[in-house]
Structure 1
Amino acid sequence: MWILLALALLTLSFNKKIAVGLLLVTSVWAGWLGVIDLRVAGGIILLAAISLTGYTLPQRPAIQRTIECLLVMLAVALTLHLMPGFHNPKILDLVKAGPESAPFTLYFNFDKALTPFVLLICTGSLFVRETPPPRPLWQWLVLLLTVPALLWLAVLLGGLKIEPHWPQWLLPFALANLFFVALAEEALFRGYLQQRLAGFMHPAVALVIQALIFGSVHLAGGLLLVIFASLAGVIYGLAWMWSGRLWVSVLFHFALNICHLLLFTYPMSVRQ
């Protein structure tokens, strides 16, 4: 079922009808397994109907803003697991990546995975916007190097330790992290928020604001995590801004998380 949901998300960027069809099949399967209840199933059918009819927001500005605001609130609630009716299965329970790593729990989040479907109604350029001027290769290489540099900074600040490992649960972690975490968060913070902000302010200011908001979402993990996430938000935001492609920022996000898991204490040092 989860692979089918991942395929729906992968397809969403280039064929919305197939993606919605896959989502409907996945939802039936999820309902049968008890991952979602009837409230969610009804909402997904409505969402699918809106998507398949080619619905666009009304031209009247007041109505347009109201509907878009409601949709964004729904996307935020899905991302933060605030919507009722979801029973996301626990895949890993208090496992440790290594002896110096703190235990963590992994869920497969059906609710968070719906975020890109909702936001695509708000903006058709969620995945691909107008292609910006090409950047020199050396700038991309520098941006790529900021991924390990940020992790090294976390080590210097005492939040992480070097601890290479290859956990047996790498594949389910990668599936969940790529499609049900990185894609959902990039759709909300870069594909939607940064794009909307850049529409009425300088792109650099939009970049900083979305990064700070992205960092603040991680406040429960402490100040160090907020700083770390904010800096990561700058990296992902630059990847999106330079490429105009959401999947580029998703891959940067995923690469940082995988490097974190494989080479450092995950999610943090056990003494934190």
Structure 2
Amino acid sequence: MWYCLAASLFFLPFYRRVALSLLAVSLLLAISNHTLQLPAIAALAATGAVAIFCWRRQGALTVAAEAFLVCIAAALALHLLPGFQNLAIASGVKAGPESAPFSFCYNFDKALIPFVLLGALPTLLKRQAAPPANRLWWLVLLLSIPLLLLAATLAGGLRVESHHPAWLGSFMLANLFFVSLAEETLFRGWLQQRLSQRLGNLWGLAIAAVLFGLAHFAGGALLVCFAMLAGVIYGLAWLWSGRVWISTLFHFAFNLMHLLFFTYPFWQAV
């Protein structure tokens, strides 16, 4: 089921009919094994109806429909909708001796965010790009990933510590499809795009990055600051390419480099 769900997300930007077919199979499997229970099924049925209505753009009511879909997406991101039984993959594990313990799951609810928001905004996954004047800026953007992690190390939030945990493959699947893609769809595909349409690209980039940082408030002030800077990186990747998948790959690359070479999710004194 989880591989089918991941495949549906993979095909969504390229072959929408294939993606929706795989999503339908994933939903049926999730219902059969009780990953989706009655409250979630009812909520998803209502959300699907609103998404279809919003996609067809029937008058001014689409503003309210889009607001509803965005609220549903936010609730999915925060795991607020009842009836989802996400699969716990690792609980209280430590990537290394100086890393803090953490847990992660395969999140069915969060994985649905791209499908929900696509009903609200047809250009969610692909819009006109605003590329930099010089392609070398892409190299600068790539180099900013390790530089930001090193800056976090100098600030005392991380330590250099290499890892290759047994659960690495599961982490990569979960982080790419059920975390990075979901968050990039919400913060770049929808939020930054809507802000850019109304306020311009610079303000859209800045506000989306700030809100992305504030979404990490539970990790403390240092994490909020570095998440904001990471949000600028992801926002530029989206702005220059016009593709959510590009910002998703930057997001995933940052998280993977963090896990492989630094204390993850942060440094904890022994």
Length-normalised TM-score, structure 2: 0.95
| From 54, 70, 74, the counterpart of 2:72 | 74
Percent identity for Structure 1 against Structure 2 = 50
CA deviation string 1:132-178 (max 9, x = no partner) = 34642210000101100110011011000000111111100000000
- d(CA) in 2 for partners of 1:199 and 1:20? 28
In structure 1, the partner of 2:97 is 99
In structure 2, the partner of 1:241 is 239
CA deviation string 1:41-64 (max 9, x = no partner) = 34445555666789323232xx12
| From 212, 220, 231, the counterpart of 2:210 | 212
Conserved in 2, the CA contact under 8 Å of 1:236 and 1:249?
yes
Structure 1, unpaired ranges of 5+: none
- d(CA) in 1 for partners of 2:217 and 2:74? 16
Question: What pairs with 1:226-237 in structure 2 (closer than 5 Å)?
Answer: 226-237=224-235
- d(CA) in 2 for partners of 1:195 and 1:241? 9
Amino acid at match of 1:29: L
Cα distance, 1:16 vs. partner? 2.1
- d(CA) in 1 for partners of 2:205 and 2:241? 14
In structure 2, the partner of 1:58 is 58
- Report whether the alignment pairs 1:24 with 2:24: yes
Structure 2, unpaired ranges of 5+: none
Conserved in 1, the CA contact under 8 Å of 2:50 and 2:65?
no
- d(CA) in 1 for partners of 2:12 and 2:46? 17
Conserved in 2, the CA contact under 8 Å of 1:130 and 1:244?
yes
- d(CA) in 1 for partners of 2:132 and 2:226? 28
Amino acid at match of 1:25: V
Cα distance, 1:17 vs. partner? 2.2
Amino acid at match of 1:40: A
Conserved in 1, the CA contact under 8 Å of 2:91 and 2:104?
yes
Helix, strand or coil at the partner of 2:92? strand
